[in-house]
């Protein structure tokens, strides 16, 4: 009887030991079936396991081995992979375990971040959901984060507390049920890019809405810049993550070792009352992310703010114009690109329905980088010459010339694009959107005309003009485009000081 008891106890201990060490092998959530691995770069594959255990990773014709460190962490680096549209298996083995990830493709992977215009799912846009089935692409894979807020930088995503979010934090095929939850901007970007090149595209969407850029900056960055304390005060927050560095801790830091092609960014609405701070923080964030991701000069493509008219605190009616200028200033950094949206806003909706056109414009930068240099870019202010009472404006990215186009932007929410009877309409009969000033610095509406390769701007009441501005308003009404159909970027030729944007910082936003 005692022998049986001892045998039973021994068996129990062995089973308990096996259970204790079973499941030790884990990979970062960014590795799952249906994923896309980055092409043409060394690819990190990493996770955790039993300390001292041997780990091997096999994919394509490569097999790499390593040993888990004392803290259990391990990493191998696959040699650069070629594009592959054929589903493959990535196998990870340890001493007693094996994990297989199936349906793995090789292409380009993009880290998508920002606030609500990037974070909101397709189901938030009633004009997009009826045609959602047509957006499905077998070569497009989607990863949507669902994290608990991390007060300190998290090495892996903190699991979501809501059971319905359990299917997130893993790669999914581009199918209607997933597309409903995914960023339409990122999805339309991926659709355009994949269709043009017939290569797999992975979009990892890691962000949340109503958040300022300070929330996406590492604490070390904010400290190093020595900014005024008032500029970091985000207590008037809209979400639990809108505090300095919390979005970085939660949505960025967990993915620093994942290998990406580049970054897609749509953010700025929550910083429009401090464009001067954004002008410092945005390029600093780009450079910091490139450094932290070990991705020097990797592409960083971003959206300029679209027109929006219901900014109640904006007594200047031009706050977003100054923020757009701060965004434009970041183009001085190498391998950056900015999508201009002056024709794709809505007066009453900060989340315009025009995400398809916006996403496709964003993809033009990636297509140029991928070897299709003929992709057009929005014309940018180049120089101004004074001839009599007229200002002659030259543009870059306008080799084929300029033209006017009809612009229609909805006034009411949730209506089909260009179907609002109260829509704001700019007809193409003449160039609109320019203002001009004399020595008094008081800007008034200007006449403008396309003349050969430039635009002439004037006002007969101003014999000696000093400066010109274009699309300089929170909700600009303008209609100047390149021949390829891309809007001219807002600009000003002056260096006048910024006016007071809001009378009361605590006014309701």
DSSP bridge partners of 425: 408
Q: Which two tokens stand for residue 301?
A: 């493509």
In the block, which residue shows the tokens 């039973």? 8
Where along the chain do its domains lie? 105-300+345-369, 380-488
**Cα–Cα distance, 88 to 36 (Å, whole number):** 10
135 SS3 class? helix
b/e map 326-358, b = 16+ CB within 10 Å: bbbebeeeeebbbbbbbbbbbbebbbbbbbbbb
CB burial of residue 383 (10 Å; 0-12, 13-18, 19+): exposed
SS3 at position 502: coil
Kindly state the helix (H) or strand (E) to which residue 279 belongs, with its residue range: helix 275-292
Secondary structure of 81-102 in HEC code, one letter for each residue: CCCEEEEEEEEEECCCCEEEEE
Structure tokens at 174: 């581009």
CA distance 112 to 262: 9
Radius of gyration for the alpha carbons in the chain, expressed in angstroms and rounded: 26
Q: Which residues contact 16 (CB under 8 A, 6 or more apart)?
A: none
Using DSSP's 3-state secondary structure scheme, residue 254 falls into helix
- pLDDT tens for the 509 residues of the chain, in order: 444 444 444 443 433 333 333 479 999 999 999 999 999 999 999 999 999 999 999 999 999 999 999 999 999 999 999 999 999 999 999 988 999 999 999 999 999 999 999 999 999 999 999 989 888 999 999 999 988 899 999 988 887 777 667 678 999 999 999 999 999 999 999 999 999 999 999 999 999 999 999 999 999 999 999 887 656 666 554 456 788 999 999 999 999 999 999 999 999 999 999 999 999 999 999 999 999 999 889 999 999 999 999 999 999 999 999 999 999 999 999 999 999 999 999 999 999 999 999 999 999 999 999 999 889 999 999 999 999 999 999 999 999 999 999 999 999 999 998 899 999 999 999 999 999 999 999 999 999 999 999 999 999 999 999 999 999 999 999 999 999 999 999 999 999 999 999 876 444 43
In angstroms, rounded to a whole number, what is the distance separating the alpha carbons of residues 381 and 489?
Answer: 7
Q: How far apart are the first and last CA of the chain?
A: 78
Query: What CA–CA distance (Å, rounded) separates 74 from 76?
Result: 7
Report which of 409, 410, 448 is spatially closest to residue 429, judged by C-alpha positions: 448
What pLDDT sits at residue 409? 97
Pairing of strands 140-144, 73-78: unpaired
Q: Mapping DSSP to helix (H, G, I), strand (E, B) and coil, where does residue 15 land?
A: helix
> Rounded distance, CA 64 to CA 347, Å?
55
Give me 500's structure tokens: 């007071």
- Report the alpha-carbon distance of residue 353 to residue 347 in Å, rounded: 12
The owner of tokens 């464009």 is 275
Tokens matching residue 108: 């380009």
pLDDT of 499 reads 96
Residue 211 φ then ψ, to 5°: -130, 140
Distance of alpha carbon 283 from alpha carbon 330, whole angstroms:
5
Q: Give the dihedral of Cα atoms 194, 196, 197, 200; nearest 10 deg.
A: 10
Cβ distance 458 to 310 under 8 Å?
no
User: Which has the closest alpha carbon to 131: 168, 173, 180, 171?
Assistant: 180
SS3 for 255? Answer: helix
Helix (H, G, I), strand (E, B) or coil at 444: strand
CB-CB contact of 430 with 404 (8 Å): yes
Q: Could you tell me if 228 and 214 are in contact, meaning their C-beta atoms sit under 8 angstroms apart?
A: no
> If one looks up domain 105-300+345-369 in CATH, what number appears?
3.40.50
Q: Degrees (nearest 5) of the Cα angle 474, 480, 484?
A: 120
This prediction has a pTM of: 0.93
The conformation of residue 157, written as its DSSP 8-state character, comes to P
Is residue 226 exposed (0-12), middle (13-18) or buried (19+ Cβ within 10 Å)?
A: exposed
Residue 413: helix, strand or coil by DSSP? coil
The strand pairing partners of 47, in sequence order, are 27, 74
Phi, psi of 102 (to 5 degrees): -105, 165
402-404 and 480-482 as β-strands: parallel, antiparallel, unpaired?
antiparallel
Distances (CA, A) of 14 to 3, 4, 20, 51, 461: 16, 15, 10, 19, 94
């Amino acid at each position: 009887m005692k022998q049986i008891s001892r045998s039973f106890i021994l068996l129990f201990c062995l089973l308990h030991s096996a259970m204790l060490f079973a499941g030790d092998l884990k990979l970062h959530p960014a590795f799952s079936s249906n994923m896309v691995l980055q092409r043409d770069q060394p690819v990190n594959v990493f996770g955790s396991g039993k300390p001292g255990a041997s780990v091997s990773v096999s994919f394509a014709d490569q097999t790499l081995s390593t040993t888990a460190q004392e803290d259990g962490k391990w990493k191998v680096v696959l040699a650069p992979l070629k594009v592959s549209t054929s589903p493959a298996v990535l196998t990870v083995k340890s001493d007693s375990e094996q994990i297989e990830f199936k349906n793995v493709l090789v292409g380009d992977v993009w880290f998508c971040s920002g606030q609500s215009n990037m974070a909101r799912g397709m189901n938030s846009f009633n004009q997009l959901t009826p045609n959602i089935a047509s957006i499905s692409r077998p070569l497009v894979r989607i990863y949507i984060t669902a994290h608990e807020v991390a007060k300190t930088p998290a090495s892996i995503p903190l699991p979501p507390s809501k059971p319905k979010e359990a299917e997130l934090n893993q790669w999914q095929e581009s199918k209607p049920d997933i597309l409903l939850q995914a960023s339409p901007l990122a999805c339309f970007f991926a659709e355009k890019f994949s269709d043009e090149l017939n290569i797999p595209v992975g979009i990892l969407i890691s962000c949340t809405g109503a958040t300022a850029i300070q929330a996406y900056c590492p604490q070390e960055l904010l400290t190093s810049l020595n900014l005024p304390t008032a500029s970091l005060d985000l207590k008037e927050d809209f979400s639990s993550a809108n505090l300095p560095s919390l979005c970085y801790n939660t949505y960025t830091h967990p993915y620093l070792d994942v290998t990406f092609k580049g970054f897609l960014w749509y953010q700025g609405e929550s910083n429009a009352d401090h464009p001067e701070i954004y002008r410092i923080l945005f390029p600093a964030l780009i450079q910091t992310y490139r450094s932290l991701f070990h991705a020097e000069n990797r592409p960083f493509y971003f959206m300029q703010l679209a027109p929006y008219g219901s900014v109640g605190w904006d007594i200047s009616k031009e706050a977003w114009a100054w923020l757009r200028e701060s965004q434009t200033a970041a183009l001085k950094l190498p391998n950056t690109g900015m999508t201009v949206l002056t024709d794709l806003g809505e007066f009453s909706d900060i989340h315009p329905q025009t995400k398809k056109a916006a996403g496709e414009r964003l993809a033009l930068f990636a297509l140029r980088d991928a070897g299709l240099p003929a992709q057009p870019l929005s014309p940018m202010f180049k120089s101004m010459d004074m001839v009599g009472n007229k200002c002659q404006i030259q543009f870059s990215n306008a080799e084929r010339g300029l033209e006017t186009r009809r612009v229609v932007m909805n006034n009411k929410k949730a209506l089909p694009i260009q179907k609002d009877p109260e829509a704001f309409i700019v007809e193409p009969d003449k160039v609109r959107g320019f203002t001009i000033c004399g020595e008094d610095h008081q800007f008034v509406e200007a006449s403008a005309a396309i003349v050969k390769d430039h635009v002439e701007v004037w006002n007969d009441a101003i014999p000696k003009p000093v400066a010109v501005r274009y699309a300089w308003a929170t909700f600009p009404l303008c209609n100047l485009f390149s021949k390829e159909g891309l809007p001219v970027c807002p600009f000003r030729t002056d260096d006048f000081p910024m006016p007071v944007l809001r009378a009361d910082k605590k006014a309701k936003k």
